[in-house]
Structure 1
Amino acid sequence: MVPIVVVMALILVLAGLVAVYVAYPHRGERMPATPWLGEAMAKAADAAPLIEEEDERLFDLTGEYEESDRRR
């Protein structure tokens, strides 16, 4: 019973962090109550990899893509 309660508490904390991230640092706003947490989340967001324009063509699922020279 105790492990279930601990895991559920961790899940709720993680969900709260995601909600706070989406509400403030993801939109570029400062967090009013805990600015240190907002700065830490902003640093994590800046460190995350981004999908560049070239990658978007690789992951395009519309079916409109160019065949490479190897496939021809």
Structure 2
Amino acid sequence: MRVLTVVVVMVLILLVAGLVAAYVAYPHRGEQMPAAPWLGDAMARAVDAAPVLAEEDEKVFALDPPREHGDAEQRH
């Protein structure tokens, strides 16, 4: 039973990885998928519906500007 669970989980992981690779190869660049255009359209709609960080929110995660050597000693 445990082996079956591992096999099923690994197959699901491979499917998700394949979908991500297919999305990056075609819809993310604005091209149609040659074999399954309906799949590319569905992935593009799903990505458009997903929440993303706004540009001003990204500044929160930016690295701090370089500090002078004296500031580092004061923090310790």
| TM-score for the superposition, normalised by structure 1 | 0.76
Report the CA distance between 1:55 and its aligned residue. Answer: 1.1
**In the alignment, is residue 24 of structure 1 matched against residue 26 of structure 2?**
yes
User: What is the percentage of aligned positions where both structures have the same residue?
Assistant: 67
Number of aligned residue pairs: give it.
63
Higher helix proportion (structure 1 or 2): 2
Aligned partner of 1:45 in structure 2 is: 47
Q: Which runs of 5+ in 1 are unaligned?
A: 65-72
Which runs of structure 1 show a deviation greater than 6 angstroms over 4 or more consecutive aligned residues?
none
| TM-score for the superposition, normalised by structure 2 | 0.72
Two-structure CA RMSD over aligned residues (Å) = 1.3
Q: Which runs of 5+ in 2 are unaligned?
A: 66-76
- Higher Cα Rg, which structure: 2
